[in-house]
Structure 1
């Protein structure tokens, strides 16, 4: 049976409890927090306008929450993006950003601001992470990412868990394919795959199971509110998901790739190095349309597989009755190019690398099912969760609470910034400006048909200077 014929986990249970009214009441004075992080998830979801995508569970969350159609991350890579999410700071541009912070903490040379989970812990919460929440799934370093002496986020979690199942260790889970296949050399691992089997054929099935176990434990006593973060790995490379999810896209026409040509002139374009590490059978998706189509379908299958794991977690939240007093946030850690600008991957400062989904639901909210076009950024999440939970927001959190936007989705929002080691960018409601370390500027008009294919910096020196000041003021 194809997955698309099944009733979504979350939708089915949500309807059941509305009918029966048999949910347990939660007695915590403070609301719980359920933060769901999905890796490499561009806004390729039906609730974000992608009609060909099968994402019923995330769409069901959007139907009872607010979907931020213009949420931008602060870095186009897993580690620095999660650093911003979890600390409320703009930070280093490398994937080791949180480990650098941990090193400073362990050396004791300076006082380090509390991370978001540590802040919630200090405000009476039990904090638990499952899966890929910080850069390393399970939050540890070492050769196989399981060294308990090398903690990525000291003092943050009461429990930081990473089931490994048949993949042996967290490193094996991170890039695992079916039936325990571990990436030792990327060139020997296929860039995509879909095999017959259930959700446990690939790593996220085990992550979802552990999340359900933790939800049951956290809701069994109601003694303290909980902050539970669940990190789903897919659709991260390699694109592997059970064949039933790939079958959702059999015969489905995919839209054309927008602006698929490599840009002219100096930009943050790159050669898709992460993608090219894997075995792609000598094929180039920029030159082989059939191969590009298959890559996109396998990415879509991974999105649907991730959506199913999200559905299990949301359904369990409802089954326990904790949904009555839980803030739920779904966040994508960055976008992903599927051929736009001839890139297959993230790491650029183009729109496709930085645009990611964000959905928020909280108890008693009025605007269920609303979309907002307000520009917000990942650094806003820390103060937003504090605001919604009714706890003090630390003065070092750099972002702005978006609670007012949740109340009035027609609000404008603000600018969003992002950075790599070589450049930084600012996005307004009409333009994107990217400033390279050597002073070179890209400026794109998002109100034009060309969008990010025509650099208009030389024609608009006054706007460039204005945006440079805004970028500098915001980041520094």
Structure 2
């Protein structure tokens, strides 16, 4: 892997924390699994996402937000620590082991930092990599916390799915993934939201809002929504939104040539697909996209329940609400059905921040920002001191003035790393090979122009070296 260096916090020197009078009191962080910007408020007209759309109308949607890694554990590591590093799904557990053996070398996580500053910190659902935040064979061992010293309560009601591992890959009525080949890749059963895993975890989250309100302390509540993670299962009512919807053609649907981070969609392909391949069967590809969209609408309904409960509790005006997608997901672009690439589809995800009296509510921004920016941002907006070792910057400049330019976004996975700017994406492989794409051309990330623009490759590699080390 690579050595991690902190970047200068340029904006922090210019922007003091908000005063106690202006700062929000609470944080509601909503983490949605495998959610690409497949939302109406992000320009996807055929998607039914009224609750998230309303959140964007009241706040700021970041249309060019990029995660640090196209996999759940590593992406959530950067969100929850504010630091680059940890490229695999075990990143948070690896941090926990280091915290136990050499605690002086590990900085506090975001929830730990808020806890140290008097907050009650609660997680419900999948916030870190394992739903409920524990290890063990079934992910429910209290002696193996994924994030030690971080949560006052870390909760996952498994219900019919028996344990967090079963909940994580569950389909309707308690069906647990054992052999993925025997589990359908998508499903839409009749019934209420509670027949799928998110339905019961959201009920626990609503109970926590009531409890936190009664406790009358500042709270940091993180809620992880599982869908649209595979397998694509949601109540049938959400699929009906798409029975007559017109889906556009998949852009750039061919497998790329040359050295890339393309893969064979192994996570998707191991499920029961009834012998069909979406790369060669247009009808099946459409069905996959419809069921993914149904899961997005199901997730949107859960977001609506959270915000409604927050309003009913009387704490909404004192709460910063953040909706964050842990990474994107290919729906056939580059002949990929999944994440785990360093293309745009894997790395770009929705980010929305909303709070009372935000300047220019509803105005979106095209500024490039990163997930590591959320830790300092939430410190800034709640008026608590910022740690001096985070790698991100506060997003308050763009919350105040959405037209401002952003900053390069860094991502990495396995043996490659990438930087995204307004004009280019550079993907640098450990082998020394490079991919350079003109993000303003119709070809997008299909035409490698690295040989034609060596000066751009050199300049962008310097950004990677400055931010991540050699």
Q: Normalising by structure 2, report the TM-score.
A: 0.94
Matches within 5 A, 1:440-459: 440-459=433-452
CA RMSD of the aligned region, Å? 1.1
Match of 1:195 in 2: 189
Residue 315, structure 1, aligned to residue 294, structure 2:
no
Q: Which runs of 4+ in 1 moved over 2 A?
A: 27-30, 108-111
Whole-angstrom distance in 2 between the partners of 1:54 and 1:406: 26
Aligned to 1:264: 257
Cα shift at 1:364: 1.9
* Paired residues of 1:30 and 1:225 also in contact (CA < 8 A): no
* Other-structure match for 1:273: 266
Contact 2:57 2:361 (8 Å CA) reproduced:
yes
Gaps in structure 2 of 5+ consecutive residues: 1-20
Whole-angstrom distance in 2 between the partners of 1:109 and 1:149: 17
Indicate the residue corresponding to 1:341 in structure 2: 334
Deviations 1:39-84 (A, max 9, x none): 0000000000000000000001001000000000000000000000
Which one of the candidate residues 338, 346, 350 is aligned to 1:357? 350
In structure 1, the gaps of 5 or more residues are: 1-26
Q: Give the superposition deviation at 1:363.
A: 2.2
For residues 91-139 of structure 1, the C-alpha deviation after alignment (integer angstroms, 9 at most, x for no partner) is 1211000000001111236431000000001111000000000000000
Say which of 68, 91, 115 aligns to 2:85: 91
Q: Who is 1:20 aligned against? A: none
Aligned-partner SS, 2:364: strand
Tell me by how many angstroms 1:475 deviates.
1.9
1:129-159 deviation digits (Å, cap 9, x = unpaired)? 0000000000000110001111100000000
Alpha-carbon distance in structure 2 between the residues aligned to 1:115 and 1:339: 36
Hey, what's the Cα distance between the residues in 1 that align with 2:83 and 2:246? Answer: 41
Query: Deviation per CA, 1:293-330, whole angstroms, max 9, x where unpaired?
Result: 00000000000000000100010000011001000000
Question: What is the CA distance between 1:30 and its match in structure 2?
Answer: 5.3
1:335 match: secondary structure = coil
Residue 466 of structure 2 aligns to a residue in which SS? helix
Please, which of 377, 380, 401 is the counterpart of residue 384 of structure 1? Answer: 377
Could you tell me which residue of structure 1 aligns to residue 6 of structure 2? Answer: none
Alignment deviations for residues 242-269 of structure 1 (CA, whole Å, 9 cap, x no partner): 0000011011111110100000111000
Inter-partner Cα distance in structure 2 for 1:196 and 1:362: 36
Partner of 1:393: 386
1:46 and 2:40 matched: yes
Aligned-pair CA distance for 1:221: 3.3
SS at match of 1:182: coil
1:6 corresponds to which residue? none
